[in-house]
Amino acid sequence: MRLKTADEIELMREAGRVLARVMRTVSEAIEPGRTTILQLDTLADELITGAGCIPSFKGYKGFPNAACISRNDVVVHGIPTEEVLVEGDIVSLDFGVIREGWHADSAWTFPVGQISDDARRLLSVTKECLMQGIAKARVGNRVGDISATVQKYAESNGYGVVRDLVGHGIGVELHEPPSVPNFGRAKTGPVLREGVTMCIEPMINQGTHKVRFESDGWTVRTADGRLSAHFEHTIAVTSSGPVILTQE
């Protein structure tokens, strides 16, 4: 793990602020029955570059767009298309920003117009998984404390926790050690020290935790076709507790 100084964390926070602002603006552009997924990606790309930053996903391992946009049963890594978002959909926006060489990465799942009570509950439980995981990101805890907390809350609500994709360290690279799984045992894994920066990102399914990878090399869907939600923040472990860097 590459530990960051307070000054470096402050630079990551600036990248995170840009990301959070773009996330909010893009989400506000969603109009049921009108907005295409590609329009949201284009807007994110323009806002990120307009802020003097680089959209880190674009070109990452050949990913074609600035944002991964994942609708309904798409878990993560959806490639933007001309599909129109319709009332009742849920849609995850996931993107990364590089500012002055420092990365931030965040994802949020939004309702498109009125959504079902079941979908609403999935969003609120997944967001709560993220918040409970972040609360465990304390000096002296271990990565497994985050993992176990997220898994317990999701499964106690009857949901499946995706195994095949995990959170990650972040800093001068989009993906750095350690891996931050959303499942596992407390008191196991790397010890968290002051200056650890990482992305906690629960991916929670309504049904089975199993996923399938599409032949486009990116799109990940739930194996049973039911909904999936994804919430992610970049956070720093500090002597005064966890700090969320991807907020305005």
Interacting residue ranges for Mg ion, rule: CB under 5 A = 94, 105, 107, 199, 232
Rounded to a whole number of angstroms, the minimum distance from the CB of residue 115 to Mg ion is 22
Rounded to a whole number of angstroms, the minimum distance from the CB of residue 175 to Mg ion is 7
Of 149 and 182, CB closest to Mg ion: 182
Instruction: Write out the H or E segment, with its range, that includes residue 117.
Output: helix 117-135
Burial category of 158 from C-beta neighbours within 10 Å (exposed 0-12, middle 13-18, buried 19 and up):
exposed
Rounded to a whole number of angstroms, the minimum distance from the CB of residue 133 to Mg ion is 13
Of 24 and 34, CB closest to Mg ion: 24
Rounded to a whole number of angstroms, the minimum distance from the CB of residue 76 to Mg ion is 8
Give the CA count within 13 Å in the CB-facing half-sphere of 170: 33
Of 227 and 235, CB closest to Mg ion: 235
Of 8 and 94, CB closest to Mg ion: 94
Rounded to a whole number of angstroms, the minimum distance from the CB of residue 114 to Mg ion is 27
Distance CA 95, CA 23 (A): 8
Of 89 and 94, CB closest to Mg ion: 94
- Count the Cβ atoms, other than its own, within 10 Å of residue 233: 28
Of 42 and 179, CB closest to Mg ion: 179
Distance CA 147, CA 143 (A): 6
Distance CA 204, CA 147 (A): 13
Rounded to a whole number of angstroms, the minimum distance from the CB of residue 116 to Mg ion is 25
222, β-bridge pairs: 211
CA distances for 95 relative to 35, 56, 241, angstroms: 18, 7, 25
Q: Are β-strands 233-238 and 241-244 bridged in parallel, bridged antiparallel, or unpaired? A: antiparallel
